[in-house]
């Protein structure tokens, strides 16, 4: 299937240097948006996979451990996890990815960092945005790991997802379409594209079944979990109607030009907001980031799922992740001269107290 993306009707004019917003504000808006999106994605991934393991209690312990190991590998924090935990199971992985402030990508760490960035630019965001992110922060501060497990972690993760959706909806409804909006959207779609590559890589590369298992009940359930991890199951069923097939699921999450979490859709949004931020034209991108973004979008417009599978899905996803990281780094260096502040040390001290 070859996807297409509609180009913007009007190309934003190059922005004079004097109108570029303060780098401190741009930095905080960008990371506030990324951290909220990251917390939601991690929460959904954990919620779906806890449900998956619960539904397939008959699978042996080795397969279950491999399942949780794949999630740690996809996060890129396997070395830190190995230092902090002796075993890999649902309890330790959930603790590490949800509650452990020593992991900068955990839900708690992300929400705390998002709230700190929002606090530093309180006068630049709407009251509704601040109240939503602050309420989520206060909710997390009131929780303990033991209490969450006792009441059921699914409701805890669902609350994270709802808070993220509320925050993004209020942002769309109350924030002016200004330079700040461009940084918010750029950060959101950059983070979303990265997480979709990691969700796909968990199943295809790490949990690749044997030839005898392809198309079986477990394989189908795993691909269904992948789609649910990206909130794509219902959209997939409306598009394909029939049963879940591996190549169709991968095709949908990579090439759909209408589903808002597919790689194609996210990269198209990244490309558009990147050009606005850098004052680039669509016909002749000048900066390395703009050229990389345009090449990535062109690949997603011209390739098919067969091309990707022939190349190797894992290799394709790793290359895409690397390109996204390069784009992010250059935009940060070009427009956000203020160095990133880590608030995790202070948060860890508060958590211990």
Q: Decide: 278 and 269 in contact? Cβ < 8 Å.
A: no
State the pLDDT at residue 69.
Answer: 85
Has residue 267 been placed in a domain?
yes
Whether 1 shows a pLDDT value over 50: the answer reads: no
pLDDT for residue 15: 45
- C-alpha separations of 289 from 28, 114, 140 in Å: 20, 25, 36
The answer to whether position 10 is within a domain reads no
| Residue 12 covered by a domain | no
List, for residues 83-98, the tens digit of each pLDDT value: 999 988 888 999 999 9
Is a pLDDT exceeding 50 seen at residue 4?
no
Containing structural domain, residue 63: 21-352
User: For residue 155, is it within any domain?
Assistant: yes
Calculate the average pLDDT of the chain.
84
Are the C-beta atoms of residues 253 and 227 closer than 8 Å to each other? yes
Residue 244 DSSP SS3: coil
Q: For residues 140 and 111, what is the distance between their CA atoms, to the nearest angstrom? A: 8
Is residue 330 within 8 A of residue 287, CB to CB? The reply is yes
Split into its structural domains, the chain has a count of 1
Q: Is residue 213 part of a domain?
A: yes
Q: Select from 258, 261, 264 the least CA-distant residue to 231.
A: 261
Tell me, yes or no, whether 183 lies in a domain. yes
Q: Is residue 5 part of a domain?
A: no
- Is there a domain that residue 25 lies in? yes
What band does 349 get if pLDDT is binned at 50, 70 and 90? low
Q: What pLDDT band is residue 342 in, cutting at 50, 70 and 90?
A: very low
Summarize pLDDT for 25-76 with one digit per residue, the tens.
999 999 999 999 999 999 999 998 888 777 666 555 556 777 788 888 888 8
pLDDT of residue 62: 58
């Amino acid at each position: 299937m070859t996807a297409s993306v509609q180009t913007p009707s009007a190309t934003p004019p190059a922005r004079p240097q004097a109108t570029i917003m303060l780098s401190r504000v741009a930095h905080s808006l960008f990371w506030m948006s990324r951290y909220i999106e990251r917390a939601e994605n991690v929460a959904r991934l954990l919620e779906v996979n806890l449900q998956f393991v619960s539904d397939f209690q008959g699978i042996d312990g080795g397969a279950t451990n491999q399942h949780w190991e794949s999630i740690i590998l996809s996060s890129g924090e396997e070395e830190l996890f190995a230092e902090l935990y002796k075993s890999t199971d649902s309890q330790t992985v959930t603790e590490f990815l949800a509650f452990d402030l020593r992991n900068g990508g955990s839900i708690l760490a992300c929400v705390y960092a998002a709230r700190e960035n929002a606090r530093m630019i309180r006068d630049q965001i709407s009251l509704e945005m601040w109240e939503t992110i602050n309420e989520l922060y206060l909710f997390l501060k009131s929780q303990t790991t033991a209490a969450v497990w006792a009441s059921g972690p699914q409701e805890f993760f669902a609350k994270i997802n709802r808070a993220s959706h509320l925050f993004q909806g209020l942002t769309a409804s109350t924030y002016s379409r200004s330079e700040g909006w461009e940084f918010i959207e750029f950060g959101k779609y950059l983070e979303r594209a990265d997480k979709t590559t990691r969700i796909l890589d968990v199943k295809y590369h790490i949990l690749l079944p044997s030839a005898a298992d392809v198309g079986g009940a477990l394989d189908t359930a795993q691909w269904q979990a992948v789609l649910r991890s990206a909130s794509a199951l219902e959209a997939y069923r409306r598009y394909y109607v029939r049963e879940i097939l591996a190549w169709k699921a991968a095709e949908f999450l990579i090439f759909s030009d209408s589903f808002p979490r597919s790689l194609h859709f996210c990269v198209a949004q990244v490309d558009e907001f990147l050009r606005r931020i850098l004052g680039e034209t669509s016909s002749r991108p000048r900066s390395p980031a703009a050229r990389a973004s345009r090449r990535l979008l062109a690949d997603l417009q011209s390739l098919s799922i067969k091309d990707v599978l022939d190349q190797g899905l894992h290799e394709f996803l790793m290359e895409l992740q690397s390109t996204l990281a390069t784009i992010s780094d250059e935009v940060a260096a070009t427009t956000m001269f203020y160095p990133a502040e880590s608030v995790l040390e202070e948060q860890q001290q508060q958590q211990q107290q």
